[in-house]
Amino acid sequence: MLFPDKAIHYILRNRDAHLMRRVKKIIDYVVKLDYLITSGWEAHPFCGPRGHSSPSAAPCLDVIYLLYLDHSGDLKAGFSIFERQGYWISRAADKIAARFITDDPNSVELHASPMRGGSRFWRQFKVPDRITAIHDGLRILTWPRHGAILFGVVVKKDAISPIDPIAYAFEQICSRFDQYLWRKYKAGDKQRGIIVMDKATYETTLQNLATDFRTIGHTWGVVRNLSEVPLFTDSRSSRLVQLADHVCFALFRRREHNDHQYFEIIRNRFDTEGASMHGLHEKLW
The boundaries of the domain holding residue 28 are: 5-283
Give the CA distances from residue 194 to residues 19, 83, 133, 223, in Å, rounded to whole numbers and listed in that order. Answer: 14, 10, 28, 12
Q: What is the pLDDT of residue 271?
A: 96
Q: What is the pLDDT of residue 5?
A: 46
Which regions of the chain are under pLDDT 70?
Answer: 1-63, 73, 200-224, 227-229
Count of Cβ atoms closer than 10 Å to residue 162 Cβ: 5
Q: What is the pLDDT of residue 100?
A: 97
Q: Which helix (H) or strand (E) holds 177?
A: helix 165-186
pTM for this entry? 0.74
Span 211-250, pLDDT tens digits: 655 554 445 456 667 766 677 888 888 999 999 999 999 9
The number of folded domains in the chain is: 1
**3-state class of 200 per DSSP?**
coil
Q: What is the pLDDT of residue 153?
A: 94
